[in-house]
């Protein structure tokens, strides 16, 4: 029997219509377009304004986009993995609801949470299911409604995050394409530097926690930036060395879209030319679990069968890593 590898065979995405630009943010907090752009590379971000819609809506729309583009019957999906840091509810699985709503009633589903590394970790998990030989179609969705946990009076965080979703389908491959190697890491030293302080079992929700605004994301920006630059770059460099790849062998870098300076530092460590570094951070900001699949969707037409792609991400916790993947198809 030929060796099974796990390849991405389809992509889809969804972003809300409402655009929150830097100019609009200037009217909300003490900031300006030049400051935001020079420090983050972000020009605008999308916001899901509907109060009765959560992360599941974003995920459903991205999944439907993939299914329609690839002409796939949702009944064929074996497993749906929902990568998200902003589930609809604390207990009821968002992924389970998404699977039912898109008609994937033969799939089992669950949520995976590793902050901004959620989708990267999800790629590893999806690939393992495929490589086991037990599953043929695994739908991995990365979606976050970050606006639901952002304090729009906090200029250190509200300029960064946006809402969106992306999806990829993993299927078996017998040509040696798909996921080749991974280097995934985590370190609990980061627990206090990027978090939502209340609402979990450690600090349950009370009138006081709501009054004190402890249910929105906070971060020590300088510390997170330092760890992100070092670890994303280290992981990407290591995956190259471990697989005897040079910068010439890499066709594309698909990095987490948190800050352009972090992306630039990672590309510099890999000695990659700018044309190989894929970025859409200026349009969407940091959509957390959705950044990697949104990049794949936006630049899908550039990818050729056999292309070498390096993924890299860093998230709260801390969580980080890099994945080496060979692209499996030419866009029709």
Question: What whole-number distance in Å separates Cα of residue 293 and Cα of residue 45?
Answer: 16
Catalytic option among 116, 158, 216, 259: 116
The residue to which tokens 């930036």 are assigned: 225
Catalytic option among 22, 216, 231, 256: 256
Question: What whole-number distance in Å separates Cα of residue 111 and Cα of residue 108?
Answer: 11
Question: What whole-number distance in Å separates Cα of residue 31 and Cα of residue 2?
Answer: 57
Active site residue 2: no
The residue to which tokens 């901004």 are assigned: 116
Catalytic option among 22, 173, 231, 286: 286
Counting Cα atoms < 13 Å in the Cβ hemisphere of 159 gives 26
| φ, ψ at 193 (rounded to 5°) | -95, -15
Chain centre distance of CA 316: 13
**Closest residue by Cα to residue 47 from 69, 21, 12, 86:** 21
Q: What is the dihedral of CA 241, 244, 246, 251, to 10 degrees?
A: -100
Active site residue 244: no
Question: What whole-number distance in Å separates Cα of residue 209 and Cα of residue 105?
Answer: 39
Active site residue 116: yes
Which residues are the active-site residues?
116, 256, 286
């Amino acid at each position: 029997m030929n060796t099974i590898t796990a390849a991405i065979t389809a992509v889809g995405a969804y972003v809300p219509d409402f655009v929150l630009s830097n100019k609009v943010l200037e009217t909300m907090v003490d900031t300006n377009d030049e400051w935001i752009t020079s420090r983050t590379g972000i020009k605008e971000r999308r916001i899901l304004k509907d109060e009765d819609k959560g992360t599941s809506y974003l995920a459903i729309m991205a999944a439907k986009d993939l299914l329609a583009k690839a002409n796939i019957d949702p009944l064929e999906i074996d497993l749906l993995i929902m990568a998200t840091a902003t589930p609809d509810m604390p207990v009821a699985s968002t992924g389970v609801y998404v699977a039912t709503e898109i008609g994937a009633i033969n799939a089992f589903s669950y949520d995976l949470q590793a902050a901004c590394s959620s989708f990267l970790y999800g790629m590893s998990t999806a690939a393992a299911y495929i490589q086991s030989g037990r599953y043929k179609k695994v739908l991995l969705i990365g979606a976050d409604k970050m606006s639901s946990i952002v304090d729009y009076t906090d200029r250190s965080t509200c300029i960064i995050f946006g809402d969106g979703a992306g999806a990829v389908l993993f299927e078996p491959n017998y040509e040696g394409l798909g996921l080749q190697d991974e280097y995934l890491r985590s370190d609990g030293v980061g627990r206090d530097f990027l978090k939502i302080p209340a609402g979990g079992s450690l600090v349950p929700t009370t009138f006081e926690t709501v009054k004190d605004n402890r249910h929105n994301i906070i971060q020590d920006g300088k510390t997170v930036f330092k760890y992100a630059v070092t670890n994303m770059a280290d992981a990407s460099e290591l995956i190259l060395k471990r697989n005897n790849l040079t910068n010439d062998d890499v066709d594309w870098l698909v990095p987490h879209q948190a800050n352009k300076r972090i992306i630039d530092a990672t590309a510099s460590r890999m000695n990659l030319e700018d044309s190989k570094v894929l970025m859409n951070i200026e349009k969407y900001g940091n959509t957390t679990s959705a950044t990697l699949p949104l990049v794949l969707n936006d630049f899908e037409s550039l990818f050729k069968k056999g292309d070498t792609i390096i993924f890299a991400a860093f998230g709260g916790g801390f969580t980080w890593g890099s994945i080496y993947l060979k692209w499996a198809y030419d866009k029709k």
